[in-house]
Amino acid sequence: MTDKNDPKHAFIMTELSVEEAIFTTRSMRHLKPDPIPKADLEFIIEAATMAPSAGNYQMWAFVVVTDEQTKQGIGNAYREAGTAYIKDTVLANPDTDDERRRVYTQAMHTVEHLAEAPVIIVACLTQPCPDDAATGSGLFGSIYPAAQNLMLAARSRGLGSVLLTLATDYSPTLPHSVKPVKEILDLPEDVGSVALIPVGYPKGQWGRPRREDVANSLHWEKW
């Protein structure tokens, strides 16, 4: 865990400004296979747990997977789900617009290469999520800020990542021939995977993500 008495701590924490981290962190789908120091993995998980959560229940858990066989299992589940949704549904649809076609074409790289990441972090919800939007928003809404903290903390250590939800335990069911993530990781009955986050040193460059002009999303006082 992060040693707060370590004089290097303050330096490490301020090396990359929050602003630069937010404005240059984008999905990194091409990752080097180089191993990641355990202390950095502990740091980014600890950073995830600094996130807010509904009622401060902290209903999250993170499974850090480095074992090749386990990564292959997750990769197989993800390949199955990603091929069915991205390749055979979104990209096969002639009505898919050009921007979505670009995003999902890039996403296919992850479908084919997920298991090659040195680490896959599986973010889990530690209580069952009923099928109603009010409860679901509080529960899932407690995992995503943690996932974003995790990705920004990874960025601060020079590590790239991408958030994936296909093939998790709340995604459409996989064919019976494919082992689901819950089974691969031996998750307890009440625990479900919500996001898969491959992490590794990026092959690509950091840079401002492609986003619509903020004016399209910003309203002052009333809509």
Ligand X SMILES: Cc1cc2nc3c(=O)[nH]c(=O)nc-3n(C[C@H](O)[C@H](O)[C@H](O)COP(=O)(O)O)c2cc1C
Q: In what order do the strands lie in the sheet with 60-65?
A: 60-65, 119-125, 192-200, 160-161
Residues 51-110 that bind ligand X (CB under 6 A): 103, 107, 110
* Cα(137)–Cα(165) distance, integer angstroms: 15
Interacting stretch for ligand X, rule CB under 6 A, among 38-46, 50-58, 88-96, 159-167? 159-167
Question: In a 3-state reduction of DSSP, which class is residue 140?
Answer: helix
Of the candidates 16, 54, 61, 163, which one interacts with ligand X according to CB under 6 A? 163
Q: Which is nearer to ligand X, 25 or 47 (CB)?
A: 25
Distances (CA, A) of 205 to 64, 99, 106, 220: 25, 20, 15, 34
Of the candidates 35, 128, 141, 209, which one interacts with ligand X according to CB under 6 A? 209
Q: Which is nearer to ligand X, 5 or 216 (CB)?
A: 216
Helix-strand-coil split of the chain, %, nearest 5 = 45, 10, 45
Interacting stretch for ligand X, rule CB under 6 A, among 47-55, 94-102, 163-171, 212-220? 163-171
Q: Which is nearer to ligand X, 189 or 213 (CB)?
A: 213
Q: Which is nearer to ligand X, 3 or 131 (CB)?
A: 131
Closest CA to 120 of 158, 171, 68, 166: 68
| Residue 21 within binding range of ligand X, rule CB under 6 A | no
| Residue 207 within binding range of ligand X, rule CB under 6 A | no
Closest CA to 109 of 124, 129, 87, 93: 87
| Residue 166 within binding range of ligand X, rule CB under 6 A | yes
Interacting stretch for ligand X, rule CB under 6 A, among 1-9, 46-54, 128-136, 162-170? 162-170
Work out how close the CB of 214 gets to ligand X at its nearest, in angstroms, rounded to a whole number: 15
Enumerate residues 6+ apart whose C-beta is below 8 A from 90: 96, 100, 104
157 strand-pairing partners:
none
Distances (CA, A) of 213 to 20, 102, 206, 210: 18, 19, 20, 9
Interacting stretch for ligand X, rule CB under 6 A, among 39-47, 113-121, 156-164, 181-189? 156-164
Q: Where along the sequence are the contacts to ligand X (CB under 6 A)?
A: 26-27, 103, 107, 110, 162-166, 209-210
